[in-house]
Amino acid sequence: MTSLILNPGKITLDELGLIHAGVCQLSLPESARVNIRAAHALVKAAADGDAPVYGVNTGFGKLANKRIDKDQLDTLQRNLIRSHSVGVGEPLAAPIMRLMMATKAASLARGYSGCRDVVVDTILAVHNAGLVPCVPSQGSVGASGDLAPLSHMTLALMGEGDMLVDGVRVPALQALQAAGIAPLTLEAKEGLALINGTQTSTALALHGLLAFEPVLEAALVIGALTLDAARGSDGPFDPRIHAVRGQPGQIDVAQYYRELLKGSAIRASHAEGDDRVQDPYCLRCQPQVVGACVDQLRHAARVLLIEANAVTDNPLVFPEDGAMISGGNFHAEPVALAADGMALAIAEVGAIAERRIAMLIDSSVSRLPPFLTADAGLNSGFMIAHVTAAALASENKSLAHPASVDSLPTSANQEDHVSMATFAARRLQAMIHNTAHILGIELLAAAQGIEFLRPLKSSAVLEEVHALLRKDVPAHHVDRYLAPDIAHATELVKSGAVSRPLAPLAGLPALWTPA
């Protein structure tokens, strides 16, 4: 385990990746405690005073006009957490919860929320002990904060509800005691500060971004392998074409394809005398399509990095002038729109990959044996593997429908426009799963296409990928049980094994590091 100082407002995408992977222990810089204590002093003064302050001595939402007696302020916060812990569905995975806890701790540590040090320290202690609050995945509309999931997280910090310990569900109090962590007792405003915010939807969207990175890289590698299997042209990747359009993702993706195809004997074999004038769009327009997806993902990465560093609870405390102001930073519209853009990109990467599979099995286009089998008729080859890819691409079309355009009013119409960001981000995992499988099928098909071109070889990088697959999946000479081959190829895609040969290539741009 490495030690990582959580600098509030300055967390990087690389640091979020480490937190997601569960390879670091988190701590706060001492300088953050000054800001935390200054804001808490204002909340304490408000709790001791007589003026109504939302969330400190009033009810919540539509009940904000209800005053709460001073001797009931702690009870108010406990009741808030218990009443809002109403989520349903499967628990959120540990990587999501690590991001959720870390970003919530960092947000509170900015010093605009008014909680005590012990609140942030308890979150970090739970994270560092490897405990995972059991948080149901459904029940947030992504406005007024991710109320239900963050309430379940807070409930576990209080020693109520459940924790996941090494994947096993145990009572939260038992898990805290075993780790030597005192259950959190909430004071004025602290429950509200913990559950107002976008940390669940942000963590889900970051989880999607990080999970899709190796899949996107694999799409570039496999797309290049398919182009060589179909004896396509590398002319469409000429940098001059992309420079005159100027789209940055397109320019960068074309550079990837040029590097991947460099030195291919297959390409050299038909550079002259080929009577085909132009390749199908699924080959020729890969930089334009996947490059546009890269631009969407880069934008999403920038938005999510800002949100991971943001203060998104309500009301906010400004120690510099003593103000406590109600606002709407808990509304997760930026996350919802970013997640919807990611969904479109994920779907399109899968959609063009499905078209490449269709092209490979169509002998009139690819000039390879029908369905990539030498004895078509007796053997069906990749006929139905393509059907599976088509089914998955079609499913992604439905899942790509924007969640952010939907809004159901809640809280007796007090919260009358919501973002649906939590679902927008949560549905990304199913889409990534589908796209990874499409690419796994394409990897099998492209590798089989290369077999028909032997003894010619592709580029060194693409031959390395071909050999990686062939270590466990032999060439497809006659029909056999294909599902295990698809599962293995898909795991190579998702794990990053397919994209690993990209690492030694010099000068390639990062796919989505925020500017």
Residues annotated as part of the active site: 54
Q: Check if the beta carbon of residue 448 is closer than 8 Å to that of residue 500.
A: no
Please give the Cα distance from 195 to 39 (Å, whole number): 18
CA distance 139 to 448: 46
Between CA 361 and CA 221 the distance in angstroms is 19
Give alpha helix (H) positions in 91-195: 94-108, 117-128, 147-157, 172-179, 190-195
Read out DSSP for 386-421?
HHHHHHHHHHHHHHTS-STT----BTTTTB-----H
Separation between Cα atoms, residue 489 and residue 472, nearest integer Å: 9
Q: Is the peptide bond before 369 cis (omega within 30 degrees of 0)?
A: no
CB-CB neighbours of 245 under 10 Å: 11
Radius of gyration (Cα) for the chain, nearest Å? 26
Length of the chain: 515
CB of 224 closer than 8 Å to CB of 233:
no
Distances, alpha carbon 387 to alpha carbons 9, 192, 352, in Å:
47, 50, 14
SS3 assignment, position 62: helix
What is residue 309's three-state secondary structure? Answer: coil
Pairwise CA distance, residues 426 & 255, whole Å: 32
Which residues on adjacent β-strands are paired with residue 164?
A: 132, 169
3-state secondary structure of 24: strand
- CA 395, CA 227: separation in Å to the nearest integer? 25
Distance CA 176, CA 168 (A): 14
The CA–CA distances, whole Å, from 44 to 54, 168, 188 equal 13, 39, 7
